[in-house]
């Protein structure tokens, strides 16, 4: 097994454990990940030894290691989330905060105001999203490591070459303006714009509105935030 593939399996395994309502067993994980039970057992044993997993009866829970890493990282980098509600109130638009996790977009926070309950569900459960069909993903990818960007584009090119071509054409403008749009790419009736409110560019702020009716407010908000950053 290549190192890259091993890392991918570890990430997937930890994600399944973290999202599980009931602590999954090794057999549960093997079934969910569609890999041999022996392979999962080896990974679990190593993760247990290093504090990433702990036993909960016959199942597994996330251990203390991720918390320790977060505490250590906080000494150098502040990951304090942007205030989605404050932006929503300021621009009278639904708002969310997003980050790039591997090759997917994850919403870390959202405003009480929503444009579509489906987005609220995705944000509340922190579900991974396809970056090329979201405003946040199109923006975050523009600032991602070259290997991550190439991996996403190569994978998507096999299933939707038109989407990749469209993004590649817009990429220089996205980087220059620090703004990206998704006009009906994810939901037909929803438009979204993502901006980097801070120059460190760790989190993207996303504003959502109805296509057509909220276009002017979305455009004005994007221009205001781009100037302020």
pLDDT number for residue 76: 61
Using only C-alpha atoms, what is the Rg of the chain?
A: 19
Question: Could you tell me the pTM of the whole model?
Answer: 0.77
8 A C-beta contact, residue 221 and residue 114? no
Which CATH number does the domain housing residue 140 bear?
A: 3.30.450.40
What is the helix (H) or strand (E) element at residue 131, kind and residue range?
none
pLDDT number for residue 3: 53
pLDDT number for residue 169: 97
In a domain, 8, yes or no: yes
Which tokens is 217 given? 């407010």
- Cα 60 to Cα 35, 57, 67: the distances in Å are 17, 8, 16
Longest dimension (CA), the chain: 56
pLDDT number for residue 1: 44
In a domain, 134, yes or no: yes
Pair (64, 16) in one structural domain: yes
Pair (90, 201) in one structural domain: yes
Pair (149, 99) in one structural domain: yes
Query: 3-state DSSP call for residue 31?
Result: helix
Pair (50, 109) in one structural domain: no
In a domain, 165, yes or no: yes
Q: For 114-124, how does the pLDDT look when each residue is reduced to its tens digit (9 = 90+)?
A: 988 888 888 98
Which CATH number does the domain housing residue 25 bear?
A: 1.10.10.10
> Which residues of the chain carry a pLDDT beneath 70?
1-4, 74-81
Pair (98, 58) in one structural domain: no
Domain end call among 71, 98, 130: 71
Pair (149, 198) in one structural domain: yes
Q: Which of 8, 179, 178, 167 is nearest to 103 (CA)?
A: 8
Pair (103, 196) in one structural domain: yes
Rounded to whole angstroms, the Cα distance separating 144 from 180 reads: 14
pLDDT number for residue 73: 73
Domain end call among 45, 71, 97: 71
Number of domains in the chain: 2
Pair (17, 48) in one structural domain: yes
Pair (23, 92) in one structural domain: no
Give the domain range for residue 222.
84-228
In a domain, 92, yes or no: yes
């Amino acid at each position: 097994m290549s190192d890259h593939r091993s890392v991918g399996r570890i990430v997937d395994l930890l994600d399944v454990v973290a999202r599980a309502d009931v602590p999954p067993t090794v057999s549960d994980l093997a079934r969910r990940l569609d890999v041999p039970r022996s392979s999962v057992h080896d990974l679990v044993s190593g993760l247990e030894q290093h504090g990433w997993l702990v036993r909960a009866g016959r199942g597994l829970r996330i251990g203390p290691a991720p918390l320790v890493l977060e505490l250590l990282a906080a000494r150098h980098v502040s990951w304090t989330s942007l205030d989605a509600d404050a932006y929503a109130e300021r621009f009278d638009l639904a708002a969310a905060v997003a980050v790039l996790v591997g090759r997917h977009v994850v919403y870390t926070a959202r405003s009480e105001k929503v444009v579509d309950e489906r987005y609220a569900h995705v944000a509340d459960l922190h579900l991974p999203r396809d970056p090329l069909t979201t405003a946040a993903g199109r923006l975050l990818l523009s600032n991602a490591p070259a290997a991550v960007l190439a991996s996403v584009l190569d994978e998507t090119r096999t299933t939707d070459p038109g989407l990749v071509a469209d993004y590649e054409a817009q990429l220089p403008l996205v980087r220059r303006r620090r703004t990206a749009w998704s006009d009906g790419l994810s939901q037909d009736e929803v438009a979204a714009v993502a901006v980097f409110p801070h120059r460190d560019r760790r989190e993207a702020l996303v504003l959502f509105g109805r296509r057509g009716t909220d276009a002017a407010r979305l455009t004005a908000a994007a221009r205001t935030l781009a100037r302020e950053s």
